[in-house]
Structure 1
Amino acid sequence: MNYKMPTKAIITDAGFASRFLPITKTIPKAMLPLGNRPIMQLVVDECIKAGITEIIIVATPEGKPIYEDYFNNSVNHIRKQLKAQGKLDRYAPIQEILDYPKITVIEQDQSYPYGNGSPIASARKFIRDDEAFIVAYSDDVVFGTSDVKTLIDSYAKHQDAQAIIIAQEMPREVLNKYGIIRLQDETKMTLHDIVEKPKIEDAPSNLTSYGRYLLTPDVFQYLDPKNTGLDGELWTVDAITRMVKDGNVYVEKTRGHWMTTGDPKNYNLASLYYATEFEDYGEALVDFLQK
């Protein structure tokens, strides 16, 4: 079956983020900043640049009101104060957020098992049976391009796709830290499976899979709470791998630079990269670090 081109994206931030405690007991992990914007906003921006018109953020019960406030609260008292001070230009970043396309924030279904597939399954009712859709993990940020646009452009060429996933080539010495792609057909760039954290010598390629996917509704028959995998969790990768038997799952290489923010070390590396590359004080920061 050919599905309609994606117009919706599911962005997930429904985990406990225990490696970031104590700050994440109060603030969702994807609300941690890169520069003066939270990680979540960068992922939303990536989707908007690709033409996505509806975004569903899947959050924890504690995170839901925080995201709703961030994307919907116009803080008019701040606007009035800035206007009185002749500094209304400082309100522009807030207006940018308020002008975003439709953003709906939902809670992950608490009856579902732990795992990165459960937030996607929780958003099932927002996806029509005749449309493909985007999934983005807020742990992952992409600089220099929109992976979401790459996925949509690829789907325009591969209407037979059951799914399309993004990959980045990584150095051999870190292949044991990620999910590594095994290709079924290297010319067509179709997926065979994804090997989680293989021994370096057993890695089937240097292509690392991360959280940017174009999926079709077929995935929901596999993202069933009963289909748990390792450690009793519901894994998106397991569902995508099962989809291979139904048809082609294509692999696209990122045109940008992916970094994970999923742990404090990598979050701080991504934060430094963002600040030095994209903030107007980046040069001063580089100078400070060199000294």
Structure 2
Amino acid sequence: MTRKAVVLGSGGVAGIAWQSGVLARLADHGLDLREADLIVGTSAGAVVGAQLAAGLDPRDLYSRRLTPVEGEPVPKTSMLALFRLIRAAGTAKDGRQFGVRMGRFALGAATASEEERRSQVRRWLGDLRDWPAGRLVITAVDAVSGEPAFFDADSGVDLLDAVCASTAGPGVRPPVTIKGRRYIDGGMRSPANVDLAAGYDRIVVLAPFTRGGRVLPSVRQQIDELSGGVRVALVSPDPRTWRAITARGGLLDPARAPQTAEAARSLNVADQVAAVWTT
């Protein structure tokens, strides 16, 4: 039997909007990724992945992105904070050390409280409270050890906490406490964590960001390392959508989500995905 997986990568508020737009476009063409046997969600992809695994119609998700969530603040990260992030990325010897340094930075940063963050993510998830019936894996990184964490319905972790952890960008969102440990964004391991779909026959990857770093694998690198026989469709932003995502404040500004979602829904990606998903 052919086993199918969907991998949804990181990308901030804009990434949520972009993925919702792409999924709606695919649904317009009769491609329903809710049929996946596995959904892997990282950061923005954790939000969209939870909703997709719960069976929500992608076109409804798209409609939600056309109205910015009220009360969602735009985080302000200083240039000093950005410099520290870049320096940490440039000198870490491996992915675990990178995670430790990102975690240390995140633990010392001034951000909203964890409870404020949970309230924000509750608004993103809407009525979704419990782990969906579909197989869903949400990624995060331990802020102290730098080790990756993979949450699912059997982890004994609330869905809300898992999504909060996966979206806890260092210096932007607060690290999230789960069972006495602190966790940060799953994108600190990889932009999409495609390797978690190893063993599946057909994989669709929606990745707002695809580049890795000196010690972090890129999306393309992880795809190339999958074993033979797997078929993969990688969808990433075209120049128009990329401009919408990276415009001033676009990555984290909910007010720009409608423009990003609309640009994503106009992408001509159905044939590319159908060639993998339906054959």
Relative to the length of structure 1, the TM-score reads 0.30
Going by fraction, where is strand more abundant, 1 or 2?
1
Q: Which has the larger radius of gyration?
A: 1
Question: Which structure is higher in RCO with an 8 Å CA cutoff and minimum separation 6?
Answer: 2
